[in-house]
Structure 1
Amino acid sequence: MSLKKTALWLVALSLVVKLSGFLRESIIASKFGATSYTDGYLLAFSFITLVIAIISGGFNNVFLPMYVKQKKEAPEATERNANGVMNATVVIFLAISVLGWLLSPWFVPLIYPKITGLTAEVTIEITRFFFLFMSAIALNGILDSYLQAQRIFVPSQMSKLSATLMGAVFALLFSDQWGINSLAYGFIFGTLVGIGIQLFFLLKKGYRWSPTLTVEQEFRRSFLVLLVPALLNAGVGQINMFVNKSFASSTIPGAVTYLNNSSLITSIPHTIYGTTIAVVIFTLLSEQVNHQKKFQDTFFMGMQVSLLTLAPIAAGLFLVGEEAISFIFERGKFTASDTHHTYLALVYYLPTIVTQGLQYIVSKSMYAQGKTNIIFRISVTTIALNVFLNWLFVEPFGYPGLALTSSFVSIYYLVVSTIFVYKDFEKKEVTRLLGLVVRVTFVTAFMIVPLYLLKLYMPISELYSLWQLMIIVPLGVVFYAIGLFIFYKEGFRQLLSIVKKKAKK
């Protein structure tokens, strides 16, 4: 399969994975609503996301380049070392599994001190179950590294899809017998299926497993030296997540679910945008890192496309967010009141749609320039800021204040990172960026004001949520395109050229 076809498959599969996530959350909402059961499950699932982040964001970022580089020089020795590292990691996670199962009743209340009653019972029970299979989850991530090293990318997405879909299928079929536990059982079953899928493709490629824990001293030393900062960097986001959920569990029943569902919606644009940027802009940044003028222009183009595509989406969700939540989640035990509570959190999450897209460009440009230590130092400071703002906002705002904290932290991260990038740029580039922000803000307002008036004075709000979306969203696209053409022709041409390039591919 060519790289172009692979890229198309990856984009398609990543969207399917995201949509399957919505299917799962929709089934959860229908079967369990926003209750102590769903809160408990989401709190327990945080430990799964922590392991996934450690493997994909820490382990893989070190293991993959070392494996690829050294395999060219000494293929047999590298395979032995890689097998030793993989086996040792699985053994370590087997020990973690046992300890986690034994100690969950102690450390879960320590991490989430405010949970009580049914929420605490569900969280501890499902956490113990998840810990039994932590080694399998770690192995699933390690196999992904092997596949990437062989330039085999699609099975990884198939594995993710399996875990997500099986969670939804089990909840749909077995929720009456197993309750909220059916989600956990389905996720683990899907993970085991995912391991099988990845092993099948690896074995086809000629992979051979060997039962060894031996790793050459030089390989082990180099691996550990790089691994420690990588794991720390991967853990920062997860620490912030645990802090947020800990604060959320101290507010009202269902708060964790409201925050989860709203953040899931705001993550869609970032997921789609990220796969596009990975193909179009990051490659250019990496190629032009030694050509200052071209690097600056490409960086600006990335910021320009980010703002032009994500700002109207964030503004549009302010108008139709409640309708979108209603269409996706409001059925069964998920009531209109739950929809409104989710929308309250969504409103405060909206800035992250734009900031995360911009941060993608900023961070990738810093990675291209080798400024990884700066990124780590900035990200570490977000932990203290996140704790302080959660403490500051949770009392006056309740659980939506935690979404507001996420937005403030995201803005802080973006601003500080951008300052470091622009230190190496010409001064006129700052003016250029500020001018871009002003223009996009004006064009977005041109779109949102007539839509707001239309919704306010026309009987659209009386329609079913899907029909409201089908009316307002296309009108928003038209108004935004007209605003761009009239007030920001350069941006209009930029978006048009990207669409044409995609169409040709």
Structure 2
Amino acid sequence: MTRPSGPSLTRTAGLVGSATMASRILGLVREQVLAHAFGASHQMDAFNVAFRLPNLVRDLFAEGAMTAAFVPTFSRTLTREGKDAAWTLGRRAITALLLVTSTIALAGIVFAEPMTRAFAGEFAQVPGKFELTVRLTRLMFPFLPLVAVAVAAMGMLNALGRFFVPALAPATFNVASIACILLLVPLMPSLGLEPVTALAVAVLAGGLGQVLLQWPQLRAEGFRFRPDFAPRDPGLREILLLMGPGTLGVAATQFNVYVSTVLATSQQPGAVSWLNYAFRILYLPIGLFGVSIASASLPLISQHAAREDTPAVRRTVAHAMRLILTLTVPASAGLLALAVPIVRVIFERGRFLPSDTQAAALALMAYAPGLIGYSAVKVLSPTFYALRDSRTPVVISVTAVLMNAALSLAFVGRLGYVGLALGTALASLLNAGLLMLLLRRRIGGIEAGRLASTFVRIGLASAVMAAAAWGSHAWMASHLFTGAAFVSQVARVAVAIGFALLVLVVAARALRIEEFDEASSRLLRRLRGRSRSASRDDA
């Protein structure tokens, strides 16, 4: 059995970070290819809603709560009873997962039409759009048992200290999507099918790929699967008990997804796709900043909590939160300043029109402040679990979800689909704020004075940076890299970002933001670590 010890935690974080970043970048490439092939067409809207239905059930049962419940139970069995007992639990968990998710998938196929009507009844107003969504939904529901097995495999490998391949597995979904778009989309009409059907095939291929990528390493560790149905197994029952609070929190989140989807489909054609494209851009800095800092900080927080060293927990959380603010406030400001040119460079080609760029950019601007909240929650919520408190983050999550739904309903009438993005962003900030407030009470403070000082100073520096980014891009559009050529667009964005970062460094130094220097050096070390780790074997 191989586990990451203290000296290897940094290398482990580098391995996970490099694989996660590869997946995020491939996901962005996938969205670029999708935008080129389908733009914000009714086919893309149909696919996004159809995929959201099995994805909702996946988040509820296969991921999230399942991961949080399965990994600790499997790890405890592995430590106390050895590999044979752990493999038995793994077989029984996978068997139970397959039975449950296959039953749900079958029900989803049978009841696809009423489910689609509940989510996207407005699609019936466009000839063929509702029927296409139903067909795609039925085709993609078998994705559910595939991804359930992939999640279980990931949990077992992580418990054994194997991180790189499981973290890379989600990238196979994006690779399959890109390949199917390039190879199968042109073939679909000759088969009498809509081109977007290729994306549904890609979803199934991606789910299977996640299993196949991890299975050889799992077999090399000694795992052999055979059906083993044992509903009275104590370990399996423990997993189900642990899933309870987490499932409630995920269910609340999925209720919000349902509300947002219904509201988005009631907007103009393309709204679902514009929101999806915008959030995909936001997803990249969340992975780079939120996940990076959480990966580095949470093992320390867990160790301090296990030793009941509350002052050390307090120092580590406060430090992590200052780093989060130092990185995400400028990133949010940059997205606000350069939303239109960023969306244009990434997506505007093929069937993704200039009007789609403007629409998606508005959604990105509304989402941008939420980057701070999303990233902060990556640290704050797991800290409660490290303190053996699963109730508080679930209650806060439900509260934030209800607020998200209320804000979406309040904003959508005046702001349309942009109001949905704004409601999501504000709810994420509320989630982070409530978690921070309750954690402060729980551990006796989080150095609020220093945190507020960091926020004010990095906020001022970010405002100067955003002005520099917007101004330099506008100046270059008129004087230097003029024209609509793709090379000119890329040059304007790249130079504007580079100049803005230079201004940020100067402003941060002038305002004496010590966390900025530390965050910058940590990010550089992490990027160098990815470069080194990617060339090593996961041994």
TM-score (norm 1): 0.94
1:432 to 450, 473, 479: 450
Between 1:201-210 and 1:35-44, the stretch displaced more is 201-210
Structure 1 position 270, deviation (Å):
0.8
State the alpha-carbon separation in 2 of the partners of residues 474 and 291 from structure 1.
Answer: 42
Structure 1 position 144, deviation (Å):
1.6
Q: 1:139-218 alignment to 2 at 5 Å?
A: 139-178=149-188, 179-218=195-234
2:109 to 101, 104, 107: 101
1:89 to 79, 82, 97: 97
1:485 to 488, 500, 509: 509
Where does residue 127 of structure 1 map in the other structure? 137
Name the amino acid aligned to 1:335: L
Where does residue 34 of structure 1 map in the other structure? 40
Distance change (3 Å), C-alpha of 1:36 and 1:147: same
Where does residue 293 of structure 1 map in the other structure? 311
Where does residue 401 of structure 1 map in the other structure? 419
Structure 1 position 56, deviation (Å):
2.3
1:67 to 57, 69, 74: 74
TM-superposition CA deviations, 1:420-469 (whole Å, max 9, x none): 01224556933332222211111112222333344445526845320111
Matched, 1:253 2:269: yes
State the alpha-carbon separation in 2 of the partners of residues 78 and 469 from structure 1.
Answer: 51
State the alpha-carbon separation in 1 of the partners of residues 232 and 89 from structure 2.
Answer: 6
State the alpha-carbon separation in 2 of the partners of residues 360 and 144 from structure 1.
Answer: 19
State the alpha-carbon separation in 1 of the partners of residues 437 and 98 from structure 2.
Answer: 41
Distance change (3 Å), C-alpha of 1:382 and 1:113: farther
Structure 1 position 326, deviation (Å):
0.9
Name the amino acid aligned to 2:346: I
Name the amino acid aligned to 1:364: P
Confirm or deny: 8 A CA contact 2:20 2:168 kept in the other structure: no
2:433 to 412, 415, 435: 415
State the alpha-carbon separation in 2 of the partners of residues 158 and 470 from structure 1.
Answer: 28
Matched, 1:237 2:247: no
Name the amino acid aligned to 1:155: V
Confirm or deny: 8 A CA contact 1:52 1:141 kept in the other structure: no
Matched, 1:281 2:297: yes
Structure 1 position 340, deviation (Å):
0.6
State the alpha-carbon separation in 2 of the partners of residues 196 and 456 from structure 1.
Answer: 48
Confirm or deny: 8 A CA contact 1:51 1:138 kept in the other structure: no
Name the amino acid aligned to 1:62: A
Structure 1 position 78, deviation (Å):
4.3
Q: 1:7-46 alignment to 2 at 5 Å?
A: 7-46=13-52
Confirm or deny: 8 A CA contact 2:318 2:446 kept in the other structure: no
Confirm or deny: 8 A CA contact 2:165 2:213 kept in the other structure: yes
Name the amino acid aligned to 2:13: A
State the alpha-carbon separation in 1 of the partners of residues 472 and 171 from structure 2.
Answer: 39
TM-superposition CA deviations, 1:144-190 (whole Å, max 9, x none): 22222222222223331112111111111121222001011122123
Count of residue pairs brought into register by the alignment: 505
Structure 1 position 287, deviation (Å):
2.7
Q: RMSD of the alignment, in Å?
A: 2.3
Confirm or deny: 8 A CA contact 2:468 2:500 kept in the other structure: no
Where does residue 474 of structure 1 map in the other structure? 498
Between 1:224-233 and 1:466-475, the stretch displaced more is 224-233
Between 1:194-203 and 1:391-400, the stretch displaced more is 194-203
Where does residue 535 of structure 2 map in the other structure? none
Structure 1 position 491, deviation (Å):
2.9
Confirm or deny: 8 A CA contact 2:439 2:445 kept in the other structure: no
State the alpha-carbon separation in 1 of the partners of residues 475 and 270 from structure 2.
Answer: 33
State the alpha-carbon separation in 1 of the partners of residues 350 and 525 from structure 2.
Answer: 44
State the alpha-carbon separation in 2 of the partners of residues 133 and 313 from structure 1.
Answer: 34
Confirm or deny: 8 A CA contact 2:172 2:209 kept in the other structure: yes
Name the amino acid aligned to 2:134: I
State the alpha-carbon separation in 1 of the partners of residues 20 and 360 from structure 2.
Answer: 25
State the alpha-carbon separation in 1 of the partners of residues 239 and 50 from structure 2.
Answer: 31
State the alpha-carbon separation in 2 of the partners of residues 196 and 452 from structure 1.
Answer: 46
Confirm or deny: 8 A CA contact 1:111 1:242 kept in the other structure: yes
State the alpha-carbon separation in 1 of the partners of residues 169 and 471 from structure 2.
Answer: 46
Structure 1 position 496, deviation (Å):
4.9
Between 1:221-230 and 1:306-315, the stretch displaced more is 221-230
The secondary structure found in structure 2 opposite 1:423 is helix
Confirm or deny: 8 A CA contact 1:255 1:399 kept in the other structure: yes
State the alpha-carbon separation in 2 of the partners of residues 360 and 428 from structure 1.
Answer: 16
Confirm or deny: 8 A CA contact 2:147 2:210 kept in the other structure: no
Where does residue 360 of structure 1 map in the other structure? 378
Among all aligned residue pairs of Structure 1 and Structure 2, give the percentage whose two residues are the same amino acid: 23
Name the amino acid aligned to 1:280: A
State the alpha-carbon separation in 2 of the partners of residues 131 and 56 from structure 1.
Answer: 15
Name the amino acid aligned to 1:96: I
TM-score (norm 2): 0.88
State the alpha-carbon separation in 1 of the partners of residues 524 and 278 from structure 2.
Answer: 33
Structure 1 position 48, deviation (Å):
3.6
Structure 1 position 252, deviation (Å):
0.6
State the alpha-carbon separation in 1 of the partners of residues 513 and 221 from structure 2.
Answer: 50
Distance change (3 Å), C-alpha of 1:440 and 1:302: same
Confirm or deny: 8 A CA contact 1:160 1:194 kept in the other structure: yes
Runs of 5+ consecutive residues of structure 1 not aligned to the other structure: none
State the alpha-carbon separation in 2 of the partners of residues 212 and 364 from structure 1.
Answer: 32
Structure 1 position 488, deviation (Å):
2.0
State the alpha-carbon separation in 1 of the partners of residues 226 and 446 from structure 2.
Answer: 58
Between 1:426-435 and 1:164-173, the stretch displaced more is 426-435
Distance change (3 Å), C-alpha of 1:324 and 1:399: same
